[in-house]
Structure 1
Amino acid sequence: MSLTSSLNVATGSLMAADGALQIVNNNIANANTPGYTRQTAQMEEGPTSVVDGQTLGGGVNFDGYQSVRDELLQSQVEQQTQAQSSADAQSTSLTQIEQVFTTSTSDIGTEMSGLFSSISSLSTAPTNSSDRQAVLSAAQNLATSFNTASQQLTSIQGGLNTQVTQDVSQINQLTQQIAALNPQIEAENNHGQDAGTLQDQQDQLVLQLSKLANVSSTKSSNGTTLTIGNAVVVSGAKSYALSASTGTGGNAVIKDSNGTDVTSTITGGDLGGTLTMQQATIPAVLGQLDSLANEVGQAFNAAQAEGTDQNGNTGTAMFSLPSTVSGSAAGISLALTSTTQIAASSTGASGSNGNLANFTAIQTNALASGSTPGNTYANLVYQVGQLSANATTASSAAQSSLLSLNTQLSSVSGVSIDQETTSLMQYQQQYEAAARVVSTIQSLFQVTISMGTASAA
């Protein structure tokens, strides 16, 4: 091998070591940068040459760097992020709902007990106007407690529209940024370059998007394509905005860029959790509350109809109820306007208390739904608490899974200072060795030149 060829080999090694050192230095500098993916130097053997029948190596060529990625782990991280954010959104709303049913001096359970207690007191003195007024007041308080609970739930439900709007706005901002990176990544790839830095940025944006909705991604020659539910939101360099509006009934409606309703397909992330609460969980709780209000109201109205009031008339309805079960909690109200209308008598005599037994029996008899009023309400409170506990458990499970997945991903794509230090020493030695070779060859060139000069003299 000629001195020139040897110099070329040594220079190539020197440049390769220098490039690798820059990559190692960049890794170390970004060891604590969120989302940074470790880069590795790419080297390849130089082309061989044949001299005097002998095949000689061509040294090494520096071929840039490559990011170390695990797409499967990254996808799993995104999925668990969606699950945790959805559970957190539900947990936040359920905490508010629990407060509606928190035991207090005016919750439904307390007011229901108060009504039965006042009826018990009236049975001992059925003509006492104060005791009769106490029954009317307790009945009014019960109706008001149903109204208040319904209004609070409806308010929480409607308030979620604001969160939906905010989530959709953030989604649209993120998809624009992700789409803008696609052509840049494609250009790098087309030039044979590793678009690691750009890909890191895009991965972080997709991770942020995963906190908001159930996003799925596919990578192709024109970049990353993203869908949320059934809506394509990124394809190539274009992003397609979602829109949020308020539909019939006051609930949010999400539409894709073509105007197609995709609300039911959005199930993950904060948006998915919020929609689940607004359009499934809260309506279910309201439905049970309406059923309880309707059945309790009907039971008291039936008891009234069995007796006679102080005016000698058959008892009229104690509560006014909507024509349908739906809306009963919001619409129930006290129908009686006078203490004399309480139908305590079973004989028609004003001093009779026989019919009050029918009122008292409501407390222990099963409603149409199959349980007593107190147990029905207690079961509703328990279900709300259980939903809240389940959401908390789901969030904790997703968080634990995320911690494990991120640890695995870090072991593959993260920067290990110990490993980089070892690589740093390795490439430093390569650089120093190549530099010595270059220095030696330069000395040989000087000797050769000197010999040539001496011969000419």
Structure 2
Amino acid sequence: MGSSFFGLEIGKSALQAQQQAMDITGHNIANANTVGYTRQSAKMTAKTVPLSGIFVPPYLKSVGSGVAVEEIQRLRDRFIDLQLRQESRIESYWSTIDEGLNQVEIIFGDPQESGLSNIMNNFWNAWQELSKTPESEASRALLVETANLLAEAFQHTHSQLVLTQEQFDEQVALKVNEINSYLEQIHSVNQQIIRLSAAGGNINDYKDKLDLAVDGLSKIIDLQVQEESNGTYTIILQGRVLASAKELNLLEAQVDPLSGFNQVYFQGTTQKIDFANQSGELKAIFDLRDSLLENYKSDLNFLARELIEEVNTLHQTGYTLQEPPAPGGVFFVGSTAEDIAVDPAISGDYRLVAASSTGAPGDGEVALRIAQLRESDFVNGANPDDYYRGVISRLGAERQEAQRIAENQSLLVDQLNMRKESVSGVSLDEEMTNLIKYQHAYNAAASLIRTLDEMLDTVVNRLR
């Protein structure tokens, strides 16, 4: 016959295991709305009696000895985590590109009335009107005013593109600081995990903090994440350890003297981060600052330069309205969209507009030729209006493509988040079901102990 005290030990282990499982369930319920929390579960195993030993009675060798909570598991799928970080990084890249191109669209302002296309159209129309009435003070004033508006539009658009570049350059430094903040957090949590593991504590909640920091970091820059056997993470970028339990190496932004823009380096070194094969927010900021915005700025400068040269060339073939008529000078000064302006002398004296080819009264031949530049293919094989429309069309197409990819990536990330939540998220309905299950098991274990207690009472107190 087996010992009744052994049955009490089995009941005790059952009570302890079910109580711990209920505590874990309660922890899940309490953190149902905690960002980054991973659902936990008690992994129970049956306790067995050793098969040998002089102190093990033969009748116990075929009987189990109860239950124990072997491990408190984090219910997390590492493959989904990897997919989610990769796709979130791509989504962040294209979302940032989309936002940047949206800013460029606002800067160009087309097809609004204040857009450069509409102002340039008014400029050609003003030359057309002047060719009809070359002696008209009103037509000359309108032309100079329209030309000033065109120059201001070029300058304003250029300055806004430069300002946007500078804003993205500031974002580089801000993103580097954000990366360093995540790295410091990961390093700190790694050290807490080491100390807690040495004391035999539960590190699951600390690993949630690690995963949350890595998720945020992965949206900014492409990194390698290596999980160590002790539960800590090692973050590696281009062969260098950035954060681990023992190491912390930060990044820094330094101004490149050649470009005048921030570049990213490993702190305390001259090694620059190579973003050629990168993705994420920081890569998108670099692409916007150094490539996309620079290209649109170059297109604008090219259009302004060609316009200045062609208008000035024709204007210098004409004659002014002075007495006697004098050869025309330059109409525009400057060489790019940054510094284009109407010649101050012309702005001060409208008679200096050289609309005539001969100086004879009523001759508006030069004004007509300049008006006809609208249809002349002198800007890289296209007329100025078509060239500018091509720039705007390319911008619209790039924005549309970025928007499409960003939306598709967002849908993909949402699906992955749903898969992740199905594994790691806390379902209150499921936790309530578990709570009832563990409660019934606890009550049954208590009934077992009560029954054994009654049996022992019969043996000890009631046998005569």
Q: Using structure 2 for the length normalisation, give the TM-score.
A: 0.87
**Two-structure CA RMSD over aligned residues (Å):** 2.8
Question: What is the CA-CA distance between 1:172 and the residue it aligns to?
Answer: 1.5
Aligned to 1:282: 293
Deviations 1:393-437 (A, max 9, x none): 333223222211111001111122333233223222222222222
What amino acid sits opposite 2:416 in the alignment?
Answer: L
Distance 1:147 1:184 in 2: 56
Counterpart secondary structure, 1:400: helix
The equivalences for 1:330-409 within 5 A come to 330-335=338-343, 337-338=345-346, 339-347=350-358, 349=360, 351-409=362-420
Is 1:145 the counterpart of 2:153? The answer is yes
Q: Which amino acid aligns with 2:412?
A: S
> Shift in Å at residue 336 of structure 1?
6.8
* Bigger mean CA deviation after superposition, 201-210 or 302-311: 302-311
Q: How many angstroms apart in 2 are the aligned matches of 1:423 and 1:354?
A: 92
Whether contact under 8 Å (2:194, 2:245) holds in the other structure is no
The one-letter code of the counterpart of 1:112 is: M
Amino acid at match of 1:241: L
- Cα distance change on mapping 1:230 and 1:298 into 2, 3 Å: farther
**TM-aligned CA distance change 1:52 to 1:260, over 3 Å:** closer
Q: Are 1:417 and 2:428 counterparts?
A: yes
Alignment match of 1:300 (pick from 294, 311, 330): 311
Contact 2:186 2:244 in 1 (8 A): no
Shift of 1:305: 4.3
Q: Check the 8 A contact 1:81/1:211 in 2, yes or no.
A: yes
**Distance in 2 of aligned mates of 1:391 and 1:372:** 29
- Size of the aligned set, in residue pairs, is 448
Corresponding position of 1:250? 260
Answer whether contact 1:244 1:255 (CA < 8 A) is retained: yes
Residues 384 and 232 of structure 1: is their aligned pair in 2 closer, same or farther, counting only changes over 3 Å?
A: farther
1:264 counterpart (270, 275, 281): 275
Q: Which amino acid aligns with 2:333?
A: S
The residue aligned with 1:442 is 453
CA distance in 2, matches of 1:330, 1:43: 73
Q: Distance in 2 between matches of 1:389 and 1:178?
A: 37
Contact 2:332 2:343 in 1 (8 A): yes
Deviation at 1:41, TM superposition (A): 0.9
Q: Which residue of 1 aligns with 2:126?
A: 118
Q: Match for residue 20 of structure 1? A: 21
Q: Distance in 1 between matches of 2:118 and 2:412?
A: 42
Q: Is the 8 A contact 1:253 1:263 kept in 2?
A: no
Q: Distance in 2 between matches of 1:263 and 1:309?
A: 58
Q: Aligned AA for 1:73? A: I
- Correspondence for 1:70: 77
Instruction: Answer yes or no: is the 8 Å Cα contact 2:165–2:293 preserved in 1.
Output: yes
Q: Does 2:442 correspond to 1:431?
A: yes
Partners of 2:432 and 2:118 in 1: how far apart? 69
Confirm whether residue 155 of structure 1 aligns to residue 163 of structure 2.
yes
Taking every aligned residue pair, what percent have the same amino acid on both sides? 26
Deviations 1:31-64 (A, max 9, x none): 2222211111122221235644762222222224
Partner SS for 2:145: helix
How many Å apart are 1:289 and its aligned residue?
0.5
Q: In structure 1, the residue corresponding to 2:365 is in which secondary structure?
A: coil
Q: Where do 5+ consecutive residues of structure 2 fail to align?
A: 52-56
Cα contact 1:308–1:344 (8 A) shared by 2:
yes
User: Contact between 1:23 and 1:40, CA under 8 Å: does it hold in 2?
Assistant: yes
1:167 is aligned to 2:160? no
1-structure distance, mates of 2:21, 2:141: 90
| 2:332 corresponds to | 319
User: Take 1:106 and 1:426, find their aligned partners in 2: how far apart are those partners?
Assistant: 69
Structure-2 change in CA distance of 1:208 and 1:115 (3 Å):
same
Aligned AA for 1:234? A
1:78 is matched by which residue type in structure 2? R
Match for residue 325 of structure 1?
none
**Equivalent-residue separation in structure 2 for 1:319 and 1:179 (angstroms):** 60
Q: CA deviation at 1:309?
A: 4.4
Which 10-residue stretch deviates more, 155-164 or 48-57?
48-57
Are 2:92 and 1:88 aligned?
A: no
Q: Structure 1's 367 and 58: CA in aligned 2 closer, same or farther, altered over 3 A?
A: same
Change in CA separation of 1:187 and 1:266 when aligned onto 2, cut-off 3 Å: farther
Tell me the amino acid that sits aligned with residue 244 of structure 2: S
Aligned counterparts of 2:133 and 2:448: Cα–Cα separation in 1: 115
- In 2: Cα distance, 1:329 partner to 1:336 partner: 17
Counterpart secondary structure, 2:375: coil
Larger displacement relative to structure 2 (378-387 or 39-48): 378-387
Structure 1 stretches lacking a partner, 5+ long: 323-327
- Output the CA distance in 2 between the equivalents of 1:105 and 1:12: 80
Structure 2 CA distance for partners of 1:192 and 1:72, relative to 1, 3 Å: farther
The answer to whether the 8 A contact 1:228-1:266 is kept is: no
